[in-house]
């Protein structure tokens, strides 16, 4: 059977350390005479990450290694495994009410309660973080919206995932004298989704 992308990591997927970085395509010009700064903010924003798995025995490690070897050829789902539930008290069947590509404000229908800063949202295959709560029906997110999502598009708040790729198409692992495996890898959001 052919491999189908995006892949899902093996379950349960254990992480001992996850480092996420929100990056923006911004450049700065600093005057060498006055030190005044001009900043240029472009539309590009996304997620980078570094993942370290806890020490594993071979049976567990081989599942992760097989996943990484297969992931070299495409994309996979990934999430913040330490924060799978929203911090806010928002409930309901959430859908998009308004969303403009490359904007940061997301209009939401069907929400009761409130969002909290840092809540993760999944729309389609993209992963967003709430960076400002405007109301129960509007939040600002990072990164900018990938698409002008149609009204009624579903929004997921629990176990929100995005589509990522390996930063480099390679899989590295170590094996010590006690046959304990060490696995780590770097990821980048697949913004072409």
Taking Cα atoms as reference points, which of 129, 140, 120 lies closest to residue 46?
129
Average pLDDT value for residue range 110-127:
93
Tell me the mean pLDDT in the region 43-63: 94
- The C-alpha atoms of residue 29 and residue 40 are separated, in whole angstroms, by 8
Q: What's the rounded mean pLDDT across residues 61-78?
A: 96
Mean pLDDT of the chain: 92
What is the structure's pLDDT at 192? 74
pLDDT value of position 71: 96
pLDDT computed for residue 130 by the predictor: 97
């Amino acid at each position: 059977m052919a491999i189908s992308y995006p892949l899902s990591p093996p379950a349960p997927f254990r992480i001992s350390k996850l480092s996420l970085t929100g990056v923006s395509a911004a450049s700065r010009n600093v005057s060498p005479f006055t030190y005044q700064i001009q900043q240029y903010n472009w539309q590009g924003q996304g997620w980078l990450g570094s993942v370290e798995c806890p020490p594993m025995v071979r049976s567990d490690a081989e599942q992760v290694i097989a996943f990484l070897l297969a992931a070299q050829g495409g994309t996979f789902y990934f999430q913040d495994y330490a924060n799978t539930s929203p911090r806010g008290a928002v409930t309901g069947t959430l859908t998009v009410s308004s969303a403009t590509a490359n904007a940061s404000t997301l209009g939401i229908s069907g929400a009761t309660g409130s969002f909290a800063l840092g809540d993760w949202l999944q729309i389609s295959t993209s992963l967003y973080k709430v960076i400002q709560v405007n109301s129960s029906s509007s939040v600002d997110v990072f990164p900018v919206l990938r698409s002008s999502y149609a009204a009624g598009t579903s929004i997921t708040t629990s176990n929100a995932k995005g589509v990522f790729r390996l930063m480099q198409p390679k899989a590295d692992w170590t094996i010590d004298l006690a046959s304990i495996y060490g696995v780590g890898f770097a990821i980048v959001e697949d913004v072409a989704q």
